[in-house]
Copies of this chain bind each other. A is one copy, B any other.
Amino acid sequence: MDALGVRGGARLGDDCALLQPAPGTQLAISSDMLVQGRHFLSTVDPAALGHKALAVNLSDLAACGAKPLAFTLALALPNADDAWLAPFSRGLLALADEHGCQLIGGDTTRGPLNICITVFGEVPVLNGKSQALLRSGAQVGDDIYVSGNLGDARLALEVFRGAVSVPAELFAQARLRMEQPTPRVALGMALRGIATAAIDVSDGLLGDLGHVLKASRVGATIRTEITINLIATYADYTRAAGQFDAFLSEKQRLNCVLAGGDDYELVFTAPASAQAAVLAASAQANVRVTRIGQIDAAPGIRLLDAQGQLQPDDYDSFDHFG
């Protein structure tokens, strides 16, 4: 990465930032806009919000297998409030530093709170072929994997909404997942050349997997008895007490996992022959991955329970525009 004006920072005050990807690489670019009441609650800690605003963008880079380089930040604020801006910047820049991702420019204005980040990552091009992970490469017979855990962010949201009530300790864990997601950048990079397709789970597993299936013109079968345990903080908490149904029904847990959204995990596909390579990538990135099903030819998603019985898919996808 020869980033004129980026490493040196000399060009930050100019009309444009200047960025030069290394020879043999291309830039992966993604933009996300966060609006209060839709992507975060007014009660959120500004430092956590700063983290999340960048995390959701880094998650898009992770889904492409791109190495983070830099980002721009455009920010509308109701008023120039240092008591808000200081912790927001601290949370934002801490995550940026962790990933070596430099703030190279942006815009601030007065207006209803709105955070728009555009992030830039680097992807190798080998023999003229981009190594970016795409949505369109899933093949019939591929295994489907998910990184980390799913559903905890939705659990926290449902508690905020007053729809469910859980012990404070469990809520605190789930809230951390909602407010400070961990973008799976190292895993995405480790999966280059291994995964056939990938996407990050921002709107819910079924919806986002659906985008992969559509782009790849395939379908999928998912095992619900495996996926239900991906709501990890809940499972951990209730397993200790042996009370899985204490606060959420099985249906509610599955709804959180399958349609929860805001997880920022990766869902990806790989051929069975690549299983060892997937596990090696998982170990290298220090992120657990779980095999939740398989790609098949028939369009759509089929949910199978532990007995192999087809389950109705009546899970609502979590849509930020809906």
Contact = CB atoms under 8 A, between A and B. Distances in A.
Interface of A: 4-5, 11, 13-21, 23, 25-39, 60-61, 63-64, 66, 72-76, 80, 104-112, 114, 116, 118, 120-121, 123, 125, 130, 132, 134-136, 199-200, 211, 215, 320-321
Nearest to A17: B29
Given A26-B19, A27-B27, A114-B114, A33 B132 contact: no
A28 B18 contact: yes
Contacts of A34: 109
B33 A105 contact: no
Given A27-B27, A31-B73, A80-B321, 7 more contacts: A11-B132, A13-B135, A15-B60, A15-B64, A16-B61, A35-B114, A112-B112
A258 B30 CA distance: 37
Contacts of A5: 130
A14 B135 CA distance: 6
Contact of A26 (B4, B106, B108): B4
B215 A13 contact: yes
A4 B125 CA distance: 10
**List of 4 A-B pairs having minimum Cβ-Cβ separation, nearest first:** A35-B111, A116-B116, A16-B28, A20-B26
A29 B110 contact: no
A20 B21 contact: yes
B123 A38 contact: no
Contact of A39 (B16, B109, B125, B135): B109
A20 B39 CA distance: 31
Contacts of A26: 4, 18-20
Given A16-B63, A26-B4, A26-B18, A31 B107 contact: yes
21 contacts: A11-B132, A11-B134, A15-B61, A15-B63, A16-B63, A18-B26, A19-B27, A20-B25, A27-B27, A29-B104, A31-B118, A33-B111, A35-B110, A35-B112, A36-B111, A39-B109, A74-B116, A107-B116, A109-B321, A112-B114, A116-B116
Contacts of A136: 14
Contact of A29 (B16, B75, B130, B132): B16
A125 to B, nearest CB: 7
A78 to B, nearest CB: 10
A135 B64 CA distance: 35
Contacts of A66: 16
A104 B75 CA distance: 21
B33 A200 contact: no
A311 to B, nearest CB: 29
Contacts of A320: 109-110
